[in-house]
Amino acid sequence: MIIIPDNIDSKYRFVILSALRARQIQGGSAPLIRQPSHKATQIAQREILQNLVKFRIPELVVIPQAAKEEDDE
């Protein structure tokens, strides 16, 4: 079982971030850590767990119901 860092709000976001980073590694980006494993997904997960990967979670914008109704007209 992997413990998710406090700065990631859900296991789903952790999986998405890991997949995006793994794709970067597979595309030629240099890994930020040296691991005996050559699997990009495992390296990406460990990089995120060690806070080596910078990311930003966008703010959720909530549109009030009244604004939605005006746009529909």
Residue 4 lies in a domain: no
Its domain, for residue 64, covers 11-72
23 in a domain, yes or no? yes
User: Mind listing the pLDDT tens digit for each residue in 24-53?
Assistant: 999 999 999 988 778 999 999 999 999 999
How many folded domains does the chain comprise? Answer: 1
pTM of the model: 0.73
- Residues 62, 55, 13, CA angle at the centre, nearest 5°? 65
- pLDDT, tens digit, for every residue of 64-73? 876 555 555 5
Show the tokens assigned to 3: 């413990």
Helix, strand, coil % in the chain, rounded to nearest 5: 45, 0, 55
Let me know if residue 2 belongs to a domain: no
Looking at residue 47, its pLDDT comes to: 94
In a domain, 18, yes or no: yes
